[in-house]
Amino acid sequence: MSGRQEQFSGSGDVRHGHELDLHRLQAFLQIHVKDFSGPLTVRQFKGGQSNPTYLLQSPSGGYVMRRKPPGQLLKSAHAVDREFRVLSALHGVEFPVPRPLVLCTDESVAGTMFYLMDYVQGRVFWDLDLPGLAPGERHAIYDHVNRILADLHNLDFGKIGLADFGKPGNYFARQISRWSKQYVASETTSIKAMDALMEWLPGNIPQDDSSSIVHGDYRLDNMILHPTEPRVIAVLDWELSTIGHPLGDFTYHLMAWQMPDLGIGSSGLKDADLNALGIPTEEEYVALYCERTGRTGGIPNRDFYAAYNFFRIAAILQGIAGRVRDGTAASEHAEKTARAVAPLAELGWTYAKKAGRQ
């Protein structure tokens, strides 16, 4: 098992500051979860730096709890109620998500709002090169991951009750404004590349106003694969989902092919021997997605999208840095993650300069 796989896989003891009142929680489950029976035991998943996530185990089965972190939070962040809503809509049309069980807005039960969903057992890969698998299985997994995202973007969000889940159109302008404000609110040191991106991005948005459900953080480690088959059985972590631009979502996912080793997360596929691994190249992967979503002209302006996505992830990680400062970060690895903000911003600015020369 790789260091990253070992670091983030599975669950451990509940971290300090994230403890739960088991008596209150068990009483809530007895009322609101069908066929629940105690006693209840709780562990906390190692992964996840935004919303603390717990494994609840009992004689009646396993459940997963996602809750807002304690402490003072940025406006609109950690929206577990929105996660619950989109999971409910997607589960209703058999999109691969865990079955949502109940949303609790009563903060006296667990200290913050939370929801429960089924515990889905399978494989979670934290390394993008899928160590230990055969090339054919790697290719089949990436092909299915691509298909699932295309299926999400092809859904008619109005027909499944999500017409008001976000504002169709003008997505990039609103996202750039949102993440700029959250970056400034969390700023711990001045980063010139972030300042440059916040100035450059609003004036260089491509003229394409497509709308779809977007996941917002579609990555290999945010999904559960079947225990033995090369297919996705559950997509997780819908905190950033909204009605937005499908290309914003897809090109964020493409960062897996663009990300160098920054000492956080997976080092990406940038310098990997993809042919030997059996993993599609970035161009092959783009072609698969375009075929499945009817984008006959491919994806123009990819340097803009790359600049935007590196800016966005830098702003998200700056939010974690701000919570390290404020003492509310949900992961023991958060401080290390926060150090990646400046290198990510520099990468974003490099892509912006490339886009500006075209």
Largest Cα separation within the chain, whole Å, is 63
Please count the residues of the chain: 358
How confident is the model over 309-324, as a mean pLDDT?
A: 86
Please enumerate in sequence order all residues whose Cβ is within 8 A of that of 106, keeping only pairs 6 or more positions apart, or say none: none
Shared-domain flag, residues 77 and 192: no
Domain with residue 103: its CATH number is: 3.30.200.20
Shared-domain flag, residues 108 and 141: no
* Amino acid 169: pLDDT: 83
Shared-domain flag, residues 102 and 162: no
Domain count, the chain: 2
Query: Within the chain, where are the H helices?
Result: 3-8, 22-32, 80-91, 107-110, 135-154, 171-186, 192-200, 246-253, 255-258, 274-277, 282-293, 302-326, 334-338, 341-356
Query: Is 129 inside any structural domain?
Result: no
151-168: per-residue pLDDT in tens? 999 999 999 999 999 988
Query: Is 125 inside any structural domain?
Result: no
Query: Is 64 inside any structural domain?
Result: yes
Cβ proximity of 43 and 13 under 8 Å: yes
Question: Could you tell me which residue, 15 or 11, shows the higher pLDDT?
Answer: 15
Query: Is 124 inside any structural domain?
Result: no
Residue 145 domain boundaries: 135-356
Query: Is 228 inside any structural domain?
Result: yes
pLDDT value at 14 more than 90: no
Among the candidates 84, 118, 152, a domain finishes at 118
Domain with residue 286: its CATH number is: 3.90.1200.10
Query: Is 184 inside any structural domain?
Result: yes
Cβ proximity of 60 and 37 under 8 Å: yes
How confident is the model over 318-346, as a mean pLDDT?
A: 75
Cβ proximity of 116 and 63 under 8 Å: yes
Question: Could you tell me which residue, 16 or 348, shows the higher pLDDT?
Answer: 348
Among the candidates 74, 92, 118, a domain finishes at 118
Angle between helices 246-253 and 171-186 (to 10 degrees): 60
Percent pLDDT > 90 in the chain is 69
pLDDT value at 347 more than 80: yes
* Total-model pTM: 0.87
Nearest by Cα to 348 from 255, 281, 268, 234: 255
Shared-domain flag, residues 220 and 345: yes
pLDDT value at 324 more than 80: no
pLDDT value at 134 more than 80: yes
Shared-domain flag, residues 140 and 39: no
Shared-domain flag, residues 254 and 286: yes
Shared-domain flag, residues 106 and 154: no
- Report the C-alpha gap between 81 and 88 in whole angstroms: 11
Query: Is 305 inside any structural domain?
Result: yes
* Amino acid 193: pLDDT: 97
Shared-domain flag, residues 13 and 89: yes
Query: Is 206 inside any structural domain?
Result: yes
* Amino acid 267: pLDDT: 65
59-109: per-residue pLDDT in tens? 999 999 999 877 654 455 568 999 999 999 999 999 999 999 999 999 999
Among the candidates 61, 90, 118, a domain finishes at 118
Shared-domain flag, residues 183 and 300: yes
Cβ proximity of 155 and 213 under 8 Å: yes
